[in-house]
Structure 1
């Protein structure tokens, strides 16, 4: 008598999209990014392979990326125009559609964990600015000195942007947002996203990452999505929810839905990428930039990371 197959789980992570080519990414950055993505996969894989939840897996995977200065979230986040660092994050549970998010936080080491605290320990979905910082201390979410987030590369990017009086936002056109989506052995999906935003953002700008339905969404009836890209356009399209809706109501497969919504976003002028996971274990990633930092692990033994478009 043959034994039943082990329950399936899948995890996808991303570290941002943009003008990422073999000519524009140094060998050092290439290696660091791949190592960081692999570490995030390992953290989430440890949760899922032991029967843990998709929600726990996406949180720990994003925590790893938030601590990695290669990416634009947590340590290594970009500077605002005024030389500060303001962090945004969101997390959503596809089983219950509970969600939490924060925007403009300044001292929380892992904004994704603060977003989860908002979801689980407040009556709200999104907290911003000073209030979010206060909530973080009340919830005993780990705090750090703002200098902990600073890296010389990000300061140089701000200087470069300010030197171009006609430039807006991220001069290198790299959307360094990080994120994770997963489906666990119970068939539940979850998504999490975290970012420092774009270089030179002003006036308390908030992008799509912490907005449920724009940059982050999870629904067991369809899929989990984490996005990275030109936030102003992703907000206008409602990218994450739009992908979910096409899967749920039009019966599109994940890849078709993701490709279609990103094409619509690009037609308006916005580029970027998404990772998508469905409750049946299907996954997809799609991007309209030359590359996207991305990785995948699964119970079938799949384990890969990629950066450039030609890597498939």
Structure 2
């Protein structure tokens, strides 16, 4: 397999993630592991189809994130976690590397695909960020597809909320990082050399109502600029915001001359980890190189290029190759 940091100037590439945290093999059944890999492959194929047809990176990351939002296994859209009040509040963002156009939403529940809400903000308003009820009113006005609360309900997420609340009542701390910061995201470089990023999340299990993490914050959990890179993050959002994780990676490339992999690893391993910022990023540079660093036990992730081979992984392991169908 071609090294991840090799140059692919005339290639297209899509990289995705489905969250990071304490992902233990000992707690993963073969069937569930296979389901995660299949979900990642479906998202990769959705984005690959756009890029293979000469489509834009922005359309590819949107398609990939929509597929992840539709998959209940991941903490976004249909699989979103619950707040301490027993409600779902979803956040999402998109960014176009061509001109740094960006759109984001936070604290919403109803639109089937929050990433489309973020994109509508970018394309249909003069703003970057809309929140709460006003964001929902805007989404309805744009004709976005809405779903009833039952569509977003998953027993696993509800049970996780009850477990976390029970631990709090007992004075214990929930140390399951996979419950604390699940997210989905995608970054891409298209055949025209354009970069884009998209991120979507349900946030943290049992979070305070109104809490917003890094996913919709431009420069923290989502970033794209054709001159450097595109980044989508998953992790302890408060730390990723404080360190402006996505923008910091781009700055190390732009001003310090670091390669994408050097910059991404510097931020994830040497800046975020010591500060308690468990998690990781997927990132692609303008030369087509990819970096997928994480500082926890696992990150659901995948990559596809013009050869059509879908490559996915969960733990600290090489990406598995799946031949094109």
Counterpart position of 2:177 = 173
1:88-99 aligned within 5 A: 88-99=91-102
| Contact 1:157/1:171, CA 8 A, preserved across alignment | no
- Give, in angstroms, the shift of residue 69 of structure 1: 0.4
Quick check: 1:139 aligned with 2:145? no
> What displacement does 1:120 show?
0.3
Matched, 1:244 2:250: yes
Distance 1:24 1:265 in 2: 26
In structure 2, what is the Cα distance between the partners aligned to 1:212 and 1:299?
28
1:199 is aligned to 2:205: yes
1:16 is paired with a residue of what secondary structure? Answer: strand
Deviation string, structure 1 residues 262-290 (Cα, Å, up to 9, x no partner): 12111111110100011211111100011
Residue 29 of structure 1 corresponds to: 32
Match of 2:192 among 183, 186, 197: 186
Identify the range of structure 1 (275-284 vs 301-310) with the bigger mean alpha-carbon deviation.
301-310
**1:105 & 1:47 partners in 2: Cα distance?**
27
- Name the Cα RMSD after superposition: 1.4
Superposed, 1:41-60 pairs within 5 Å as 41-60=44-63
Partners in 2 of 1:306 and 1:6 — Cα distance?
25
Report the CA distance shift for 1:246/1:145 in structure 2 as closer, same or farther (over 3 A): same
Structure 1 residues 17 and 6, CA, compared in 2 at 3 Å: closer, same or farther?
A: closer
Task: Specify the SS of the correspondent of 2:215.
Answer: coil
Residues 1:14 and 2:17 aligned together: yes
* CA-CA distance at 1:26 after TM superposition: 2.3
Provide Cα deviations, 1:25-48, integer angstroms capped at 9, x if missing partner. 222221111000000000000000
The separation in 1 between residues aligned to 2:96 and 2:149, in whole angstroms, is 29
- Contact in 1 for aligned 2:82/2:206 (Cα 8 Å): yes
Equivalent of residue 308 in structure 1, options 300, 309, 315: 315
1:135-182, Cα deviation, whole Å (9 max, x unpaired): 1101111111122111000000000001112356x6521132000000
Structure 2 counterpart of 1:255: 261
How far apart are the structure 2 equivalents of 1:91 and 1:50?
A: 21
What is the aligned partner in structure 1 of residue 239 from structure 2? 233
Residue pair 2:200, 2:215 contacting (<8 A) in 1 also: yes
**3-state SS of paired residue (2:293):** strand
After superposition, where does 1:288-307 map in structure 2 within 5 Å? 288-307=295-314
1:201-232 Cα shifts (integer Å, max 9, x gaps): 11300000000000000000100000000001
1:69–1:217 Cα change, 3 Å: same
CA distance in 2, matches of 1:141, 1:135: 9
Deviation, 1:7, is: 3.8
Q: Aligned match of 1:270 in 263, 274, 277?
A: 277
Cα 1:245–1:167 change in 2 (3 A) is farther
**Over residues 184-215 of structure 1, what are the superposed CA-to-partner deviations in whole Å (9 max), with x where a residue is unaligned?**
00000000000000000113000000000000
Alignment check: 8 A CA contact 1:11 1:44 kept: yes
Q: Tell whether the 8 Å contact from 2:46 to 2:64 is kept in structure 1 after alignment.
A: yes
Structure 1 CA distance, aligned partners of 2:9 and 2:257? Answer: 27
State the SS of the aligned residue for 1:63.
helix
Give TM-score scaled by structure 1 length. 0.96
